[in-house]
Amino acid sequence: MSKSVKKLTGLVAATFTPLTAEGEINLSVIGSYVDYLTEKQNVKSVFINGTTGEGCSLTVDERKQLAAAWCQHGKNKLEQVIVHVGCLSIKDSQELARHAASIGADGIAVISPSYIKPTNADALKLFIKEVSAFAPDLPMYYYHIPSMTGVALDAADVLNGIEQMSPSFQGVKYSGTDLRDLGQCVRYSQSHNWSVMFGVDEQLLGALVLGVHGAVGSTYNYLGRIVNQMLAAFDNGNHTQTRALQFEIMEVITFAKNLGFDVSVNKQVMSEVSGLAMGPPRLPLLPCPVSKAQAIAQKIKDFSQGH
């Protein structure tokens, strides 16, 4: 890459995609969304069009419009806008990467193709290389989420040697629960000054101990302020406070999971907590019963008021 890279660290909100009642993208919400994250949650970076953002349910044009809106409204307010460009088609991913570079995004990320899957790590590395070539000056991150893609390759095998193929490669968003593999990613990334960002919100403390540089998650949209307290306590060596906060966050997420906590529910919870109109999910996701989202939102509000 020809320009210096600002390392991705700290909390990153995996953003929701606002939709109208008719199911069209609602760009009018993005400006207020940026302000809510930065002013109410003290979250200064975003990861857009990912799993939480229903990215793979959006058209290429919709994803471009959203990316442009986040970059526009985030200018001078957000530290980093990372655009997920993963698609089943490498051509679509390449076009989204090219577009992200043209609008001033701070980085791009890709999941593994998940219908016709790579048979080994070398195939996935080649896919990442060919996408990053369309945005050679943007940091590229591999988004590892085997629960959604069904691609069970070790992320550490994908990282191993990828710098020789993709000079713009800068790290991994690790949304798996294999701490052995995660630890190998952290260890390999140390000598390259890459970012390893963790993506399982309720298990963040375990990842911090292994040395991750931050976290990307959906709950940081409305729990960011408290999780930032947890990160500060960890950095200050206050392990008792860190553990107490993680246990409380686990309790909130467990409460939500027991009621059924998918992207659809989470999206409605964001609307209830933030007051922003996130709108419905897109099929095949079904709308969430409002009563369920309200119960989870109340739990979050009670927790937040105590901190």
Q: What is the pLDDT of residues 158-209, one digit of tens each?
A: 999 999 999 999 999 999 999 999 999 999 999 999 999 999 999 999 999 9
Residue 99: per-residue pLDDT = 98
Residue 306: per-residue pLDDT = 84
From 55, 82, 78, 68, select the one nearest 27 (Cα to Cα): 68
The residue annotated as part of the active site, out of 44, 64, 125, 173, is 173
Is 173 one of the annotated active-site residues of the chain?
yes
216 annotated ligand binder: yes
Contacts of 24 by beta carbon, 8 Å cutoff, 6+ apart: none
- Tens of pLDDT, residue by residue, the chain (307 residues): 655 788 999 999 999 999 999 999 999 999 999 999 999 999 999 999 999 999 999 999 999 999 999 999 999 999 999 999 999 999 999 999 999 999 999 999 999 999 999 999 999 999 999 999 999 999 999 999 999 999 999 999 999 999 999 999 999 999 999 999 999 999 999 999 999 999 999 999 999 999 999 999 999 999 999 999 999 999 999 999 999 999 999 999 999 999 999 999 999 999 999 999 999 999 999 999 999 999 999 999 999 998 8
Residue 75: per-residue pLDDT = 97
Domain topology for 10-236: TIM Barrel (3.20.20)
Is 211 in a helix, a strand, or coil? coil
**Phi first, then psi: what are they for 171, rounded to 5°?**
145, -165
Read off the tokens for 7. Answer: 């390392």
According to DSSP H, which parts of the chain are helical? Answer: 30-35, 60-74, 90-102, 121-132, 146-149, 155-159, 179-190, 204-210, 220-235, 239-259, 263-274, 290-305
The residue annotated as part of the active site, out of 36, 143, 174, 222, is 143
Is residue 49 within 8 Å of residue 84, measured between CB atoms?
A: yes
Q: What does DSSP assign to residue 106?
A: S
Is residue 143 within 8 Å of residue 86, measured between CB atoms?
A: yes
Spatial distance between the Cα atoms of 110 and 302, rounded to a whole number of angstroms: 36
15 annotated ligand binder: no
